[in-house]
Structure 1
Amino acid sequence: MALSILGYAAQSATTPLAPHSFQRREPRPDDVVIDILYCGVCHSDIHQARNEWHSSVYPMVPGHEIIGRVSVVGAEVTSFKVGEMVGVGCMVDSCQHCSACQAGLEPYCEKGATWTYNDKDRHDGLPTFGGYSERIVVSDKFVLHISDKLDPKAAAPLLCAGITSWSPLRHWKVGKDSKVAVIGLGGLGHMGLKFAKAMGADVTLFTRTPGKEAEARRLGADHVVLSTDPAQMQAVARQFDFILDTVPSQHDLNPYLATLNLNGVLCLVGLLEPIEPPVQAGMVVLGRRSISGSAIGGIAETQEMLDFCAEHDIVSDIEMIDIQNINHAYERMLKSDVRYRFVIDLASLKKAG
């Protein structure tokens, strides 16, 4: 029997999110039903709700940084128990057969991963709805264990902001001998600082905003460079092995490329638009430097990150909100007025009326 669910949804690109009732599928034998406790608010939720990526389908229930408790397990589920704290991130399925899926890289599924919201279930064709809601039904292969050592509220953003920062740092083998820089101090950037420091790297923050040094050091930075100051940028020329670029808007990569050493890598995790202004090819060719990109990690990698966070006491810096304040939170996010991630207390849904 389908589940009747209350959530918050966008009905169009121009209307505010508001209470919305919808149906979730009847649980399958391999499904886990999760009562949602907390859901992080990602900048991509705004892009999707407002159709800024030109692929939105309405009504849309956003949210892909989900923490909750298992309330039902299907007959074939053996790895989760009722009452367990679990998480769900940006995807809820994939083909599970292609080379990417077989390598544990489900977000790069050759047939396309099934995203947690604004997508279609690959089995029944029904729309997927996200975590701004009471509960969710997910295949057990895409559910993650959340350690009792983690504050579940602050763990929610680990399911997107966390893994998006973690995956490239792991892929490019950042460790105790690495010199790493992070561009931007937001939801992704603050996690990048925490992870790189915990991995043992020497960590620098690039920022355009003066006065962030104390905050950056609290989060793990050893050094802070004001990227609008040519003298400071010249002082770190050819220094870094790896740069994590978390900026979601178009910006000039050339000054940062100049700070990479031989074989250095600049990895884009925030920008999906064309690179503008153009990259000077000589900056890449003459230093054998690379520009790369990375999305979220696979399920096994995400579990590895969560276990690392439990071991090293790492969570996101958050501000809790009620679901009724989600539209105001979106406006604040657009002004960078949050340190560093909003998390919705889904108990507030009961106030929705």
Structure 2
Amino acid sequence: MTAVPAFAAPAAGVPLERTTIERRPVGENDVLIEIKYVGICHTDIHHVRDDWGRGGFPLVPGHEIAGVVAEVGPGVTGYQVGDRVGVGCMVDSCRKCENCRNGLEVYCTGGGLVATYADTMRYTDGAPTQGGYSTHIVVDERFVLGIPEGLPLEQAAPLLCAGITTYSPLRHWNAGPGKKVAVIGLGGLGHLGVKFAHALGAEVTVLSQSLRKKDDGLRLGADHYYATSDPKTFEELAGTFDLILNTVSASLDGDAFLSLLRIDGTMVYLGIPEKPVSANVGSLMMGRKSIASSGIGGIPETQEMLDFAAANGIGADVEVISADEIEQAYDRVLRSDVRYRFVIDNSTI
């Protein structure tokens, strides 16, 4: 075991503090990563405050990890010391079920994925997983992603969660030329959804409560920007979209947003509202519309996303902070006061 510096929540609702954690020795197929940057995801805040009742304290959050390979095990073939790499929301899966064999580890049915933090290495030693608010992490090479040259590490880090969360449904529902895509919300997820949908060739519309971020939305690649607080928006855009990505966690009027879909259109929920999603069957029936959801992508698709991002000059819009600013950043995330992702400089841990 190797002790490394980290920031951890000692208990639910308690501010994070500097500590050290143990990382396992580098095994046959392991990669030791020196973490350069880690993004702050809203999920981190939920876990630190134990909003979902999962416990597991002390807890080191962070699943948007970008860094450099510091050491590799003797069986590693895909990476070498000095390579730019990333780790997202999972660090293992059963590897045997149909979904895992097909590169859909996120939907593992053989016991579920092993999350990067707040989980246990159930397929190996049962040790708790601790995330990227630390200086180093050891991960099996199968769950390590290559970050292409030209993609700044601080901009790449949020792609490992927020990026793949929006890229995966865009690819699955065939966003591209001739398709009209709407993105609800222009935040950490939404701003990347706009960038990816635009780069894929779709006509992109942002649907936000107000026009406050309109200039940003158009700069990021949106063709149109509408305020959902204006009832005329729903009249003007009725029957317009092939695909709607809902990136917010607030409860919405499902019927109102379903009215914006054209025939065979789909609204995909990427945030998790506190209350169950509801809609009248008639809103789905009249137009053969669908409500769906989507997790992150599997490892192959996540690598595809990173390669696509590099090829198209896509990175997250970030505000880099020191580790001492984590609590302030959490408060600002809850106030939606960030454009559009906080990233921790891990040299400050």
- For 2:153 and 2:173, the matched residues in 1 are separated by 29
- For 2:311 and 2:156, the matched residues in 1 are separated by 13
1:344 equivalent in structure 2: 344
- The answer to whether the Cα contact below 8 Å between 1:9 and 1:60 also exists between their aligned partners in 2 is yes
- The answer to whether the Cα contact below 8 Å between 1:251 and 1:275 also exists between their aligned partners in 2 is no
The runs of 5 or more residues in structure 2 that have no matched partner are: none
Identity in percent: 49
- The answer to whether the Cα contact below 8 Å between 1:164 and 1:297 also exists between their aligned partners in 2 is yes
AA aligned opposite 2:343:
V
Cα drift, residue 211 of structure 1: 2.9
Cα drift, residue 105 of structure 1: 0.6
- For 1:140 and 1:306, the matched residues in 2 are separated by 16
CA 1:299/1:93 → structure 2, altered by over 3 Å: closer, same or farther? Answer: same
Q: For residues 117-175 of structure 1, what are the alpha-carbon distances to aligned partners after superposition, in whole Å with 9 as ceiling and x for unaligned? A: 00001200110000000100000000011111101111100000000000000001111
If the length of structure 1 is used for normalisation, what is the TM-score?
0.97
Cα drift, residue 272 of structure 1: 5.0
- The answer to whether the Cα contact below 8 Å between 1:226 and 1:233 also exists between their aligned partners in 2 is no
- The answer to whether the Cα contact below 8 Å between 1:240 and 1:259 also exists between their aligned partners in 2 is yes
- For 1:56 and 1:102, the matched residues in 2 are separated by 31
Q: For residues 193-245 of structure 1, what are the alpha-carbon distances to aligned partners after superposition, in whole Å with 9 as ceiling and x for unaligned? A: 00000000000000002232211100111011111111121100001000000
1:137 equivalent in structure 2: 138
Q: For residues 77-104 of structure 1, what are the alpha-carbon distances to aligned partners after superposition, in whole Å with 9 as ceiling and x for unaligned? A: 0110001110000000000110111111
The runs of 5 or more residues in structure 1 that have no matched partner are: none
- The answer to whether the Cα contact below 8 Å between 1:316 and 1:341 also exists between their aligned partners in 2 is yes
- The answer to whether the Cα contact below 8 Å between 2:211 and 2:226 also exists between their aligned partners in 1 is no
Within-5 A mapping of 1:168-247:
168-247=169-248
1:87 equivalent in alignment to 2:96: no
2:20 equivalent in structure 1: 21
AA aligned opposite 1:158:
L
Cα drift, residue 21 of structure 1: 1.2
- The answer to whether the Cα contact below 8 Å between 1:225 and 1:233 also exists between their aligned partners in 2 is no
- For 2:190 and 2:55, the matched residues in 1 are separated by 27
- For 2:254 and 2:279, the matched residues in 1 are separated by 7
Give the alignment's Cα RMSD to 1 decimal: 0.9
The secondary structure found in structure 2 opposite 1:263 is strand
Aligned residues: 347
- For 1:105 and 1:272, the matched residues in 2 are separated by 24
CA 1:105/1:273 → structure 2, altered by over 3 Å: closer, same or farther? Answer: farther
- For 1:281 and 1:88, the matched residues in 2 are separated by 40
